[in-house]
Structure 1
Amino acid sequence: MKASDLHAGPAPHQPFGTYHLADGRYAFRIWAPDAHEALLELGGEKLSMQAQEDGVFGIELNTEPHTPYRYIIDGAAVPDPAARVQRAEWSVVEDPDAYFWRHEDWHGRPWRETVLYELHVGAMGGFDGLRQALPAIADLGVTAIELMPVASFPGQRNWGYDGALPYAPQDSYGTPSALKEMIDTAHGLGLQVFLDVVYNHFGPVGNWLPHYASEFFTRDAHTPWGAAINFENPKVSEYFIQNALYWLHEFRFDGLRLDAVHTIGNLHWLHELAARVHASVPPGRHVHLVLENERNEASLLESCYEAQWNDDFHHCLHIMLTGEEDGFFVSYSDDPARHLARVLKEGFAYQGEASRLHKDEARGEPSGHLPPTRFVSFLQNHDQVGNRPFGERLIALTEPARLKAAVALQLLCPQIPLLFMGEEWGSKQPFLFFTDHDEDLAQIVRDGRKREFSLFTAHADPERAAHLPDPNAEQTFLDSRPGTPDIAREEDRDWLAHYRTLLALRARDIAPFLDEAKAIDSCVLGPKAVAAQWRLDNGALLTLALNLGEALSWDSAALPGWLRGGSAAPAHFAVPLAAGSAPTSGTLPADSCIAWLIAGN
């Protein structure tokens, strides 16, 4: 099957990019409304492009795949903003049908089965290195990997959120065919593959659009990265919609995670993007769209988007695990257990209330009517680890038993769990912010990071700040690679066994019954202790009790009715109890998570 049969982008009506015509020729198009003249430089020649309507320039000709090209716009050499391959200053003609797919019958997996594993492709050794690591990830019980952005950026190393060319896989990671082979291999192992895409800004280097298409941006709104993208313009809208279709169909990604959509500021466009994606997917294929959205807009999760990364889940538990309360944790520090109980029952902790972090402005929309699978829960991810000054993982910030209890809550509750590369064996390698900029921009980045860290009391000390890792040093990137578990080490084996056991329980007894799962209730049991209960599709009652503080009395007379009534029935499984019934009296141990499942009638 050809990529062109799968709604591959750029499509013929796309005002950007290079695509193969039915007669064998290639069409080159670029939207340059500010330009007077556009030339195509290809094969040692500079060819005049014809001015078409609405500022589009185009040319059609015979050429071969792998041929370098670029555009000359009013005398300035610029890359194709929709290049499929970018090598240094040259875009490269790519044949989208060159890769032969081995697993054409792959149709994805239902969302309820999803267990995400976020990773950085460069830190995993590029597309080929990641491909070799896939069997171990699948063996863990993970069902989906999520790649941090792979769109082309200047230099050899970057988190990916400074991309300049959204259609071109980063050349230092490997070729488009290597990316396709990695995805193909993942599908053969039963793994979905998700991609983090950045549609809210371009990086500070390599984006030439402002020079010839100023209408691409708007002066009426700004983001943390500069002028906002003008999604009101039909050509700009189409540029990003076609990009989503390109990744999903030409590369056969199973889903996209949209970065920081709160900075896009255009709900209509987000609805349009989702509608176009869903309309493009043939019956029987599973494609999932996930958001990062600080605004907690539950309305986007009612029909358009599968789920949202749930920062509220993370922030409550991080405080309870570490005691850190400053920076962006301040809005949860008043009563993290109360916030967590609401998260477990209703999804968001903030559903329209004022937030201290957001200068007491209202944040969020009511979310209690949404199923728990609309929320992606995590204890660690690239942001929450990498945006710390020294990139410490939770294993360096809290006790192992306490962390294992929190992991049990995350992996057994009905929200969709996300792991971060290396956490499953207790990797102690930091994950740091790294770049590969010229010295002027590198210094700006260093200064900016120091300003960010001043929000955190623990890192405001000038002496400590003087030892911050240099984001632009290659060693910072090398130190951020997670490594691999050492099966000779008992500690590594224990962590792996913990994750495998929990994920096996989830796959067997929870995931198959999540489509219509509903929260019953939740409650606070102590300063660092909560309990929650859900009814699954098969009628079973799932109950979780977490205690990250001192041991608590577990007195059935003092428990809420919903919790006291269910706890007397036989338990289908109990964690960490070996077997038998759920606890009805005694104590809830320190640093423990107890789960039990009562079979439905």
Structure 2
Amino acid sequence: MRSRQFGPRVSKDGVSFRLWAPAAKRVDLLLDRALPMQRRDDGWHAVDVPGLTAGSRYKFRIDNELEVPDPGSDFQPDDVTGPSEVIDHGAYAWRAKDWRGRPWQDAVFLESHVGTFTHEGTYRAMIDKLDHLVETGITALELMPLADFAGRRNWGYDGVLLYAPDSAYGRPDDLRALIDEAHLRGLMVFLDVVYNHFGPEGNYLGHYAPEFFTAAHTPWGSAIDYRVPQVRAFAIENALHWLADYRFDGLRFDAVNHIFGVRDEIPLLHELSAAVGDLATETGRHIHLVLENGDNRASMLDSAEDPPRGKFRAQWNDDYHHVWHVMLTGESAGYYGDYQDDPRGDLARALSSGFVYQGKRAAFWGGEPRGEPSGHLAPSAFVNFLQNHDQIGNRALGDRLESIAAPAAVAAALAVTLLAPTVPMLFMGEEWGSRRPFPFFCDFQGGLADAVRKGRRIEYEWAYSKYGDEVPDPLAVETFKSAVIDWEARNQSPGKERLALVRGLLAVRHKEIAPRLPGATFGEARAGADGLLTADWIMGDGTRLHLIANLSASELSPPRTRPAGKPIWGGALTDRLLPWSVLWSLGEV
């Protein structure tokens, strides 16, 4: 693993500090005294402090005027504007010493937000829920971003100190304890990371390192300039930091289509993948990298490249979600308008080749062609889901699918999603059909708070316009509290029935689907206007996986050609398909 440039370095002799501040003429390290840092021609300022230990707090002073935290800070006990704390990453005594991860074929994700996953909202409190995940059949806990953000509540996408896990949830060793306990139970842990922008409060980089940013903009602020080697190193080292110092099993990269220059092949993502591959080789670990990419760039994906050598294991498949949402709710606003013409046909396309948009023009995307052909990829290159934080939280009320769709229809969608040879993901509480909302929330103050309120209404006007004052105030603590999931509901009807369904489906997945995923390929899928859906895939062991589903509220006749093979879900095929019934079988090619 390459030597880290950003952040303090702890050794037996003391601590070394570095700051890349090319625009600063003078930088002082502030401890209990001020120590001048040596400026080098490449913009780095450095000083060694013998005898200093972990736990020490410090800041940097720029040109005798501005005091700032370390952009490579490992912890901010007093939030983003406070002093940084030196952390010794080698001091934690890992219990799961032999953990090397799990292969990609085993992945079943649960996306979660630490602050609303439990009433306590901490890393430590999450440990008590890990056994539930194992019993359900979840194999991968994915955490929404942890990088230090301003205030006590946030989705995590406003991080400004990317190396520091936010203190709202606990200390660094509390996070390590969560990951360690997950590994002891056979659970992978993933982290969502954001490299397309910094949050709007607490980022001082522009004052002393303006080269970090370009004249371009993202929907959330100034774009980061990864053409600059030091800036590219900042992101790559950050990814390695989470994977090595905290032993995360993988990363999910937020909205990479909004990383400046990705379309121009600036090599950030390729270099990052290769660096992670080196770490995986050195440690003998399974490490998985997943993209969110609105451009549907199939050329960036290869689920079989192990370890990563420039590509990414899979992509969150928004197309799959949007099609199901349109089918189950009839909604047509915003991006759902691009899936109105033939949603059942679009679902068949997603099941038979991954993306719906593989070069077709999309109105929501400005009428531009979107996506690349994806049918040649393995089905496991797609993470499919019916809900996630965005698709719930960017609704005006943060309401979940269970609140707006028929239960039988949602159950059918789950039966398709959890057994298809793509990689499934649930959002926390979805396994028992939670109706607890997940509205957008944050904790800014003053003018920034007002700007956030206004900006949300403008950006999502198509979702907010009809609700008026009913829309929760994202700055109110009550909005945050409303999102804490209702664990008690899993033991009551209808939660316990939904949980039994999900557990049953995932038990079949782990027995019949996951062992056959390596080498699996897409087959064909057909959808009729009446709601009859058929699909098949060639699995890695040469068997054929068949799906027959009635995605309607009426009885249907089964297809004329009946697949041979053993039923694995839904029972044997009869002369009538009941409403919202889903049948899976395995047979010979």
What's the TM-score, normalizing by structure 2? 0.94
Instruction: Report the counterpart of residue 169 of structure 2 in structure 1.
Output: 173
What's the CA shift string for 1:522-562, capped at 9, x where partnerless? Answer: 001235442210111122211112333232532543xxxxx
The answer on whether the counterparts of 2:546 and 2:563 sit within 8 Å (CA) in structure 1 is no
What's the CA shift string for 1:303-326, capped at 9, x where partnerless? Answer: 510000000000000011111111
What's the CA shift string for 1:204-248, capped at 9, x where partnerless? Answer: 0000000000001111x2211222111010100001100000000
Instruction: Report the counterpart of residue 213 of structure 2 in structure 1.
Output: 217
Instruction: Report the counterpart of residue 449 of structure 1 in structure 2.
Output: 456
Structure 2 counterparts to residues 53-92 of structure 1, below 5 A: 53-62=41-50, 63-74=52-63, 75-88=65-78, 89-92=82-85
Secondary structure of the structure 1 residue equivalent to 2:111: strand
Query: What is the rounded CA distance, in whole Å, between the counterparts of 1:574 and 1:68 in structure 2?
Result: 57
Structure 2 counterparts to residues 61-140 of structure 1, below 5 A: 61-62=49-50, 63-74=52-63, 75-88=65-78, 89-124=82-117, 125-140=121-136
Q: Could you tell which deviates more after superposition, 197-206 or 280-289?
A: 280-289
Instruction: Report the counterpart of residue 547 of structure 1 in structure 2.
Output: 550
1:19 pairs with 2:9: yes
Structure 2 counterparts to residues 34-433 of structure 1, below 5 A: 34-42=23-31, 44-62=32-50, 63-74=52-63, 75-88=65-78, 89-124=82-117, 125-219=121-215, 221-264=216-259, 265-266=261-262, 267=265, 268-281=267-280, 282=282, 284-302=284-302, 304-433=311-440
The answer on whether the counterparts of 1:195 and 1:256 sit within 8 Å (CA) in structure 2 is yes
Q: CA shift at 1:283, angstroms?
A: 6.0
The answer on whether the counterparts of 2:556 and 2:579 sit within 8 Å (CA) in structure 1 is no
- The amino acid of 2:170's aligned partner reads G
The answer on whether the counterparts of 1:296 and 1:364 sit within 8 Å (CA) in structure 2 is yes
- The amino acid of 1:319's aligned partner reads V
Secondary structure of the structure 2 residue equivalent to 1:553: coil
Query: What is the rounded CA distance, in whole Å, between the counterparts of 1:525 and 1:374 in structure 2?
Result: 26
Q: CA shift at 1:348, angstroms?
A: 0.4
Change (3 A) 1:261 1:568: closer
Instruction: Report the counterpart of residue 460 of structure 1 in structure 2.
Output: 465
Query: What is the rounded CA distance, in whole Å, between the counterparts of 1:188 and 1:309 in structure 2?
Result: 27
Secondary structure of the structure 1 residue equivalent to 2:96: coil
Q: Could you tell which deviates more after superposition, 281-290 or 239-248?
A: 281-290
1:533 pairs with 2:526: no
1:513 pairs with 2:536: no
Structure 2 counterparts to residues 430-441 of structure 1, below 5 A: 430-441=437-448
Secondary structure of the structure 2 residue equivalent to 1:573: strand
Query: What is the rounded CA distance, in whole Å, between the counterparts of 1:553 and 1:420 in structure 2?
Result: 32
Secondary structure of the structure 2 residue equivalent to 1:500: helix
Query: What is the rounded CA distance, in whole Å, between the counterparts of 1:283 and 1:90 in structure 2?
Result: 33
Instruction: Report the counterpart of residue 3 of structure 1 in structure 2.
Output: none
Number of residue pairs matched by the alignment: 569
The answer on whether the counterparts of 1:320 and 1:528 sit within 8 Å (CA) in structure 2 is no
Query: What is the rounded CA distance, in whole Å, between the counterparts of 2:357 and 2:563 in structure 1?
Result: 34
Query: What is the rounded CA distance, in whole Å, between the counterparts of 1:489 and 1:307 in structure 2?
Result: 35
Q: Could you tell me which of 477, 483, 487 is aligned with 1:484?
A: 487
Unaligned runs of 5+ in 2: 306-310
What's the CA shift string for 1:236-268, capped at 9, x where partnerless? Answer: 000110000000011000000000000113232
The answer on whether the counterparts of 1:573 and 1:597 sit within 8 Å (CA) in structure 2 is yes
Query: What is the rounded CA distance, in whole Å, between the counterparts of 1:589 and 1:452 in structure 2?
Result: 41
Q: Could you tell which deviates more after superposition, 129-138 or 234-243?
A: 129-138
- The amino acid of 2:46's aligned partner reads G
Q: CA shift at 1:90, angstroms?
A: 0.6
What's the CA shift string for 1:438-475, capped at 9, x where partnerless? Answer: 0311111111122233223xx423xx212210000001
Change (3 A) 1:488 1:416: closer
Query: What is the rounded CA distance, in whole Å, between the counterparts of 1:594 and 1:139 in structure 2?
Result: 24
- The amino acid of 1:86's aligned partner reads Q
The answer on whether the counterparts of 2:432 and 2:490 sit within 8 Å (CA) in structure 1 is no
Q: Could you tell which deviates more after superposition, 528-537 or 179-188?
A: 528-537
Query: What is the rounded CA distance, in whole Å, between the counterparts of 1:528 and 1:273 in structure 2?
Result: 44
- The amino acid of 1:262's aligned partner reads N
Instruction: Report the counterpart of residue 32 of structure 1 in structure 2.
Output: 21
Change (3 A) 1:53 1:505: same
The answer on whether the counterparts of 2:10 and 2:54 sit within 8 Å (CA) in structure 1 is no
Change (3 A) 1:467 1:572: closer
The answer on whether the counterparts of 2:254 and 2:292 sit within 8 Å (CA) in structure 1 is yes
The answer on whether the counterparts of 1:262 and 1:295 sit within 8 Å (CA) in structure 2 is yes
Instruction: Report the counterpart of residue 4 of structure 1 in structure 2.
Output: none
Q: CA shift at 1:568, angstroms?
A: 4.5
The answer on whether the counterparts of 1:380 and 1:394 sit within 8 Å (CA) in structure 2 is yes
Query: What is the rounded CA distance, in whole Å, between the counterparts of 1:343 and 1:488 in structure 2?
Result: 34
1:574 pairs with 2:569: yes
Query: What is the rounded CA distance, in whole Å, between the counterparts of 1:34 and 1:487 in structure 2?
Result: 55
- The amino acid of 1:254's aligned partner reads D
Q: Could you tell me which of 588, 593, 598 is aligned with 2:577?
A: 588
What's the CA shift string for 1:494-515, capped at 9, x where partnerless? Answer: 0110000000000000001101
Query: What is the rounded CA distance, in whole Å, between the counterparts of 2:563 and 2:192 in structure 1?
Result: 45
Query: What is the rounded CA distance, in whole Å, between the counterparts of 1:70 and 1:413 in structure 2?
Result: 51
The answer on whether the counterparts of 1:568 and 1:582 sit within 8 Å (CA) in structure 2 is no
Q: CA shift at 1:32, angstroms?
A: 0.3
Q: CA shift at 1:428, angstroms?
A: 1.2
The answer on whether the counterparts of 1:321 and 1:548 sit within 8 Å (CA) in structure 2 is no
Change (3 A) 1:97 1:556: closer
- The amino acid of 1:435's aligned partner reads C
The answer on whether the counterparts of 1:450 and 1:465 sit within 8 Å (CA) in structure 2 is no
Instruction: Report the counterpart of residue 560 of structure 1 in structure 2.
Output: none
Query: What is the rounded CA distance, in whole Å, between the counterparts of 2:8 and 2:563 in structure 1?
Result: 66
Change (3 A) 1:70 1:568: closer
Instruction: Report the counterpart of residue 478 of structure 2 in structure 1.
Output: 475
Query: What is the rounded CA distance, in whole Å, between the counterparts of 2:45 and 2:159 in structure 1?
Result: 24
Structure 1 stretches of at least 4 aligned residues deviating more than 3 Å after TM superposition? 485-488
The answer on whether the counterparts of 1:582 and 1:596 sit within 8 Å (CA) in structure 2 is no
Change (3 A) 1:37 1:488: closer
Q: CA shift at 1:372, angstroms?
A: 0.3
